[in-house]
Amino acid sequence: MSANKSPAARLRRAWDRCQTLPFGSAIFSRLLGAMVPYTGTIRPRVLELRPGYARVELRDRRGVRNHLGSIHAIAIANLAEVTSGLAMTLALPAEARGIVTSFSIDYVKKARGTLTAECATGPVDASVQQAHHFVAVVRDDVGDEVARGTAAWLIGPTPRPETPREATAAATTAAR
């Protein structure tokens, strides 16, 4: 996979382009929602994005509330997961990939008002396939922690595509 086609390169390019526009963060956030439809249901707003770091906001609105009038637990988990994913994806080299293998979340207090999730990954070693754990902390509009989500990402090098000759040899061996 070329550097220009990697998920990190596409996200970084879209973020950089949108930042030159009025309402660029809102435009990028809409694009993100289109690229990741389930995440789009909570309408996250990406406030800050750079390699290894993401800060994402979720506005309190009827569509993300539960029957108790607070923000639904799964909407908070979705916010934490997308925040960790953005930070991790932009930290990856072009020749690497990652996928969530598990996710856990601790809810600290009832969530009301605008929530902001933040995740800082630091450098990511993608030279061998291995699990990495990233924490996204979710705070309310007064700065109190309401949740802490931990995403386990399996990260490693992107397998190189087989050449036609290798594919033929593999098919011949499999047919025997």
Please enumerate in sequence order all residues whose Cβ is within 8 A of that of 72, keeping only pairs 6 or more positions apart, or say none: 64, 65, 66
Tens of pLDDT, residue by residue over 52-76, are: 999 999 999 999 999 998 999 999 9
Mean of all residue pLDDT scores within the chain: 88
Give pTM, 2 decimals.
0.84
pLDDT at residue 6 is higher than 80: no
The pLDDT of residue 36: 86
Instruction: List the structure tokens of 137.
Output: 């902390």
pLDDT at residue 159 is higher than 60: yes
Tens of pLDDT, residue by residue over 33-43, are: 888 888 888 99
The pLDDT of residue 81: 95
Instruction: List the structure tokens of 135.
Output: 């924490």
129 to 2, 33, 143, 154, 158: CA distances (angstroms): 19, 28, 36, 7, 9
* Residue range 123-128: mean pLDDT, rounded: 87
Q: Pick the residue with more confidence: 152 or 93?
A: 152
pLDDT at residue 17 is higher than 80: yes
The pLDDT of residue 1: 45
The pLDDT of residue 169: 66
Please enumerate in sequence order all residues whose Cβ is within 8 A of that of 147, keeping only pairs 6 or more positions apart, or say none: 76, 77, 80, 105, 106, 107, 108, 111, 137, 138
